[in-house]
A and B are shown apart, each in its own frame.
Chain A
Amino acid sequence: SRALPAGTRQKEEGGIQLTQKYLENYYGFKKDGESFIWKSNSPMTKKIKEMQEFFGLEVTGKVDSGTLDLVQKRRCGFPDVAG
């Protein structure tokens, strides 16, 4: 597979971290010790889907542009799911 240019990879990782932080703050996501397992049923993917469903985004489970755009918007600090 073609290696991603460093810049793009960094940007992608930044987006993932931003999304992870968002899910921790507002969707009760707890990153367990393991590193990311990009399986369709990984906890992170499930939480991304939950958030995309709440906001009426396309439910892809991926950090796509719509999701990345959303996690950077100003918002209320209270979670979207009952904690």
Chain B
Amino acid sequence: FTTFAGEPKWAKQVLTYRILNYTPDLRPVDVNASIKKALSVWSSVTPLKFIKKDRGDADIMISFAARAHNDFMPFDGPGGSIAHAYAPGKDFGGDAHFDEDETWTKSTEGTNLFYVAAHEFGHSLGLFHSKDSNALMYPVYRKFDPSVFPLHQDDINGIQYLYGPSNTHNDQRESTEIKDPTESKEPTLPNTCDPSLTFDAVTTFRGEIMFFKDKHFWRKHPAVQTADFNLISSFWPRLPPGVDAAYEIPEKDKTVIFKGNEFWVVRGDTILPGYPQKIHTLGFSKDITKIDAAFYNGNEGKTYYFIADKFLSYDKRSQSMDRKPILISNEFPGINGKIDAVFQHENFFYFFCGRKQFEFDPDKKRVTRLLKTNFWFPC
């Protein structure tokens, strides 16, 4: 790896980014997700955190443009130069520009936005090009395997040379040491590879997946082998342990977390002011005292709340809640009885019932895979 001359890097650990405009090649929600995921690649191996801004200045300004575009590096039409980014610093510093003359995709066809953005954000954070042809910071665009974490050891060495390792990862290492139960006074920590593992709640969270269990949660990027393990209180000190349900509204960068007849709304590691609130403010009747699981289906703009063997859904377009609960198996054939947790990943829903996890295809309206609860972990 190499850094820029003089080793410019950000002096702070929480960086802001703003997407100034969108390519017509992709839905805005897909651009947001690709950019977020590309940043989370770097935050997963450093102490860095990225906060999205929708107005005003930001450390990393992201834009799409063709040919000359107000800097001294005009693009060159389709092919050739596909994007560039600037080293950390003020004004242009950290900014990333993407060539609108490319065909931006979220697949391996065309030019994959996530993959290029992950490279460019390496520059935004202070890395220069690498000669290692396996490294993400290698300058030439190559076909890549989307199921493989894009950072090579060379990239990780480079970025940790500038910012050090992920401190939560260290905490995780300290806190996930499974001590011999006979020695430790503390109850043993939940072990992701225990076949009888169950979860209290599961939600997506800024491109990652968050699995809640008692006082802890794991944070896992679908493309990253390792999982960060944290105390809930280390992220949200005022949140009680043993949450019941959680779901994310990605386009608002908000995550709703339920416990008993209350709920909180968080953005990153901040609980938004005015919470907790009572769940009946969401439109539930008074006889509903807790939620077992919930998820937000961004494709249809509906939020599903699961209570015992039934559910209620809220349609944000009509701003209406179902009048009465619906049997889960009516809408999700094959999902019978109470569920512990549920989340949506790509075009599938994942239902957790005890030790089982059901992958559900909403288009085919049927269960497509029966998985273990620890399917997402490297067991």
Contact = CB atoms under 8 A, between A and B. Distances in A.
Given A25-B81, A54-B131, A56-B131, A78 B141 contact: no
Contacts, number: 57
Contacts of B119: 76
A55 B135 CA distance: 12
Contacts of B131: 54-56
B120 interface: yes
Contact of B139 (A56, A72, A80, A82): A80
Nearest to A76: B139
B248 to A, nearest CB: 31
B172 interface: no
A82 B5 contact: yes
Contact of A75 (B5, B82, B128, B133): B82
Nearest to B78: A74
Nearest to A73: B140
A77 B75 contact: yes
B84 A77 contact: yes
B82 A76 contact: yes
Q: Which range contains the number of B residues in contact with the other chain?
A: 20 to 34
B133 A77 contact: no
Contacts of B83: 76-77
Nearest to A72: B79
A75 B4 contact: no
A74 B85 contact: no
A82 to B, nearest CB: 5
A59 to B, nearest CB: 13
A77 B139 CA distance: 8
Contact of B129 (A56, A73, A76): A76
Contacts of A26: 139
Given A76-B139, A78-B129, 18 more contacts: A55-B140, A56-B131, A74-B79, A74-B80, A74-B111, A74-B141, A75-B81, A75-B140, A75-B141, A76-B84, A76-B129, A76-B141, A77-B83, A77-B84, A77-B99, A78-B128, A80-B129, A82-B5
Minimum-distance CB pairs A-B, first 6: A77-B81, A77-B84, A74-B141, A82-B5, A78-B84, A75-B140
Interface of B: 4-5, 73, 75, 79-85, 97, 99, 102, 111, 116, 119-120, 123, 128-129, 131, 133, 139-141
Interface of A: 25-26, 54-56, 70, 72-80, 82
